């Protein structure tokens, strides 16, 4: 066989192996990776829907908390009176609160009032809501505890339900019954979620087989995602979430791969007509270079792994094609990453005030706080005084504006590094790293004075005050135990209530004087007073508060700085 024929045979063999390798790489690596990315993207959509329904439950829980912790509700649950019903138990209340159902139950589990809109119709027609007296085994009382929420199966569809014990405005007991807020997971609510999340959602009831979400690729152009939500009162039935979506990313990726494969085929065929040396110099080496760059793109995730070859031939065009393909794929990966980060950020942010929410606080205390070097920490708990009167006198819209204005003022007083959290309702938490007790009392007084002077509201201006409690401690070693941090926050909460019992519009601080190795801290005001007497804690208060300090409604103390 002539040398030229051998060279041609070698080149043909090399061409066959090369193209086979490209095809296998696409089939066994590129396509599965693309499908994995699509799967994660669709599973994120399922999670967004589940979080959207959870947000509705959290909204019911928040609204029911405001209503249940109210002196008027507390009085009505003990002795119903017409004025309360006329002012509050009217259809307009359901519309204002975006509810479908409101139920008041006294401490003997007797129904005091049921208020439902047209979505529910007659509550007695639903097995879950029948009867004027409920036993302790009733699903609404059995499956969820106080300050909890859940989804129940009914004859007319899933019912989002939140239950709160009826307490005084200061959240004191004993409870005089329960307040239940509920909302149907109907077509209207599903449509709202679809528009908000920008996905086409359908919801149905299904027999439970699994709670694991799944993604199926029906065709190269269509995918189907499915997820589930457990019901409180049924172990055999679940809410099934279905999403049908197109696959634009897959189509673009396939098109780019086909174009690249076709281009490689043409260029490799041309390359087989040249000599071995030219093949080695012009084709083989550049292909090896491109392969290495593709490996970096695939395995190391470099955003710009491809560089244009220094040639004006077809291989140069091939490298340009790979650059365009890599840029396009990187852009899509970047968009997916951005959406994931935005979703995480929104799940950690309070929608009304843009401060962090309790979920972020829990995540921070369980992970990030334990990574900090030893230093001084101060935990603040703040509460707007008589905030309920703002909602009663000016409406919930002005109440929301007031919370936003208070949050803005709080930001202006705190440092950029401080963590500001809306704990719930009108209560806020501030965590200050590298802030000792001396600086903490200055900050507390600066906040108190600033809020007292600030004019809240829009057209109608009014003044408010706030009560502040804080706990300062020097942490010598990281304590990787979430309940230790929560116990420290509990001390600032105890100090806050001392400030409220002492006349409001003031602050009360506690400073740790001992190194607590076992992580145990006082859990109520009586333990705090015992620690003060044993010099484990130091009390920090303004002079006027020291004279009238109360740890609870009746018991005074003489412990002061």
* DSSP assignments along 40-88, one per residue: HHHHHHHHHHHHHHHHHHHHHHHHHHHHHB-HHHHHHHHS--HHHHHHH
| Residue 147, φ and ψ in degrees, nearest 5 | 60, 40
Q: Quick check: is 371 in a domain?
A: yes
pTM of this structure: 0.45
Residue indicated by tokens 């369980």: 366
Contacts of 231-234 spanning 24+ positions with Cβ under 8 A: 231/150, 231/151, 231/152, 231/153, 231/158, 232/139, 232/143, 232/144, 232/150, 232/151, 232/152, 232/161, 233/128, 233/139, 233/143, 233/152, 233/153, 234/153
Q: Quick check: is 559 in a domain?
A: no
**How far apart (Å, rounded) are the C-alpha atoms in residues 40 and 340?**
10
pLDDT string in tens for the chain (561-residue length) = 665 667 688 878 877 888 788 888 887 878 888 888 888 888 898 899 989 999 999 999 999 999 999 999 999 999 999 999 999 999 999 999 999 999 999 999 899 999 999 999 888 888 888 888 888 888 777 766 655 788 998 889 999 999 999 999 998 889 999 999 999 999 888 898 888 888 888 898 888 877 899 999 899 889 999 999 988 888 888 999 999 888 887 888 888 888 888 887 888 788 777 877 786 677 677 777 666 667 766 665 555 566 767 667 676 676 677 677 767 766 655 565 565 655 666 688 998 999 999 999 888 888 777 778 888 999 999 999 999 999 999 999 999 999 999 999 999 999 999 999 999 899 999 999 999 999 999 999 999 999 999 999 988 999 999 999 999 998 866 665 667 888 889 999 999 999 999 999 999 999 998 766 556 888 899 999 999 999 999 999 998 877 788 888 665 554 433
Domain count along the chain: 2
Q: Quick check: is 421 in a domain?
A: yes
Clarify whether residues 288 and 328 are in a common domain.
yes
Clarify whether residues 442 and 385 are in a common domain.
yes
Domain boundary among 318, 344, 370: 344
| Rg for the chain, CA atoms, rounded | 32
Q: Starting at the earlier edge strand, list the strands of the sheet with 148-154.
A: 111-116, 101-106, 177-184, 157-165, 148-154
**How far apart (Å, rounded) are the C-alpha atoms in residues 471 and 359?**
21
Beta bridge partners of 133: 110
Query: What integer pLDDT is reported at residue 537 of this predicted model?
Result: 92
Query: What integer pLDDT is reported at residue 440 of this predicted model?
Result: 95
Query: What integer pLDDT is reported at residue 546 of this predicted model?
Result: 75
Clarify whether residues 279 and 379 are in a common domain.
no
Clarify whether residues 383 and 477 are in a common domain.
yes
Clarify whether residues 321 and 438 are in a common domain.
no
Q: What residues make up the domain containing 263?
A: 3-37+250-344
Q: Are strands 507-512 and 466-475 parallel, antiparallel or unpaired?
A: parallel
Clarify whether residues 254 and 338 are in a common domain.
yes
Residue indicated by tokens 């003031």: 506
Clarify whether residues 385 and 283 are in a common domain.
no
List, in sequence order, the alpha helices (H) in 237-350.
248-271, 276-278, 285-295, 314-347
Query: What integer pLDDT is reported at residue 3 of this predicted model?
Result: 57
Query: What integer pLDDT is reported at residue 559 of this predicted model?
Result: 42
Q: Quick check: is 418 in a domain?
A: yes
CATH of the domain at 364: 3.30.70.270
Q: Give the closest residue to 453 by CA, choosing from 442, 440, 464.
A: 464
Where does 195-249 show beta strands of DSSP type E? Answer: 201-207, 214-219, 222-230, 237-246
Q: Quick check: is 442 in a domain?
A: yes
Clarify whether residues 286 and 310 are in a common domain.
yes
Beta bridge partners of 424: 427
Clarify whether residues 462 and 519 are in a common domain.
yes
**How far apart (Å, rounded) are the C-alpha atoms in residues 551 and 134?**
38
Clarify whether residues 314 and 446 are in a common domain.
no
Return the percent helix, strand and coil in the chain, to nearest 5.
50, 20, 30
Query: What integer pLDDT is reported at residue 558 of this predicted model?
Result: 45
Q: Quick check: is 51 in a domain?
A: no
276: Cα within 13 Å, side-chain hemisphere:
9
Clarify whether residues 334 and 406 are in a common domain.
no
Clarify whether residues 510 and 363 are in a common domain.
yes
Q: Quick check: is 233 in a domain?
A: no
Q: 472 and 432 in contact (C-beta within 8 Å)?
A: no
Query: What integer pLDDT is reported at residue 392 of this predicted model?
Result: 93
Query: What integer pLDDT is reported at residue 381 of this predicted model?
Result: 96
Domain boundary among 344, 373, 393: 344
Residue 491's CB: how many other CB atoms inside 10 A? Answer: 26
Query: What integer pLDDT is reported at residue 285 of this predicted model?
Result: 73
Query: What integer pLDDT is reported at residue 95 of this predicted model?
Result: 92
Q: Quick check: is 139 in a domain?
A: no
Domain boundary among 281, 313, 344: 344
Query: What integer pLDDT is reported at residue 106 of this predicted model?
Result: 92
Q: 491 and 379 in contact (C-beta within 8 Å)?
A: yes
**How far apart (Å, rounded) are the C-alpha atoms in residues 267 and 286?**
12
């Amino acid at each position: 066989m002539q040398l030229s024929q051998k060279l041609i045979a070698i080149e043909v063999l090399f061409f066959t192996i090369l193209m086979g390798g490209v095809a296998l790489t696409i089939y066994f690596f590129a396509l599965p990776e693309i499908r994995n990315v699509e799967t994660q993207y669709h599973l994120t959509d399922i999670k967004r829907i589940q979080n959207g329904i959870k947000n509705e439950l959290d909204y019911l829980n928040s609204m029911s908390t405001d209503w249940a912790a109210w002196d008027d509700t507390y009085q009505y649950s003990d002795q119903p009176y017409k004025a309360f019903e006329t002012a509050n138990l009217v259809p307009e209340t359901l519309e204002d609160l975006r509810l479908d159902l409101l139920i008041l139950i006294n401490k003997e589990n007797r129904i005091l009032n049921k208020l439902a809109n047209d979505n529910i119709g007659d509550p007695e027609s639903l097995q879950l809501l029948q009867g004027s007296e409920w036993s302790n085994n009733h699903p609404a009382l059995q499956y969820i505890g106080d300050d909890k929420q859940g989804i129940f199966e009914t004859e007319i569809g899933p019912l989002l339900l939140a239950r709160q014990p009826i307490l005084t405005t200061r959240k004191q007991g004993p409870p005089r019954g329960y307040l239940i807020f509920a909302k149907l997971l109907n077509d209207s609510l599903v449509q709202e979620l679809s528009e908000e999340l920008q996905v086409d959602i359908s919801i149905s009831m299904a027999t439970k087989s699994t709670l694991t979400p799944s993604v199926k690729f029906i065709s190269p152009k269509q995918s189907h995602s499915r997820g589930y939500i457990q019901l409180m009162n049924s172990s055999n039935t679940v809410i099934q979430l279905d999403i049908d979506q197109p696959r634009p990313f897959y189509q673009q990726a396939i098109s780019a791969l086909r174009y690249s494969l076709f281009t490689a085929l043409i260029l490799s065929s041309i390359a087989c007509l040249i000599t071995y040396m030219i093949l080695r110099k012009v084709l083989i080496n550049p292909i090896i270079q491109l392969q290495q760059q593709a490996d970096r793109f695939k395995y190391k995730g470099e955003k710009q792994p491809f560089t244009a070859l220094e040639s004006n031939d077809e291989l140069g065009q091939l490298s340009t094609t790979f650059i365009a393909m890599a840029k396009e794929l990187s852009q899509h990966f970047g968009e997916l990453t951005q959406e994931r980060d935005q979703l995480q950020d929104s799940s950690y942010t309070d929608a009304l005030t843009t401060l962090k929410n309790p979920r972020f606080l829990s995540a921070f205390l369980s992970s990030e706080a334990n990574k900090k070097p030893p230093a001084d920490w101060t935990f603040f708990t703040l509460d707007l005084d008589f905030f309920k009167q703002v909602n009663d006198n000016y409406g919930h819209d002005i109440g929301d504006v007031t919370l936003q204005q208070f949050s803005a003022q709080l930001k202006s007083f705190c440092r950029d590094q401080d963590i500001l959290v809306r704990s719930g309702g009108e209560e806020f938490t501030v965590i200050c790293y590298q802030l000792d007790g001396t600086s903490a009392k200055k900050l507390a007084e600066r906040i108190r004075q600033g809020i007292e002077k600030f004019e809240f509201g829009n057209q109608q201006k009014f003044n408010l005050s706030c009560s502040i409690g804080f706990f300062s401690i020097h942490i010598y070693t990281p304590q990787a135990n979430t309940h230790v941090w929560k116990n420290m926050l509990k001390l600032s909460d105890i100090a806050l209530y001392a400030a409220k019992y002492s006349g409001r519009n003031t602050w009360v601080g506690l400073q740790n004087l001992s190194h607590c190795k076992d992580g145990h801290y006082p859990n109520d005001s009586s333990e705090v007073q015992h620690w003060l007497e044993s010099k484990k804690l130091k009390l920090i208060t303004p002079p006027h508060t020291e004279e009238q300090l109360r740890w609870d409604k009746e018991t005074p103390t003489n412990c002061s700085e």
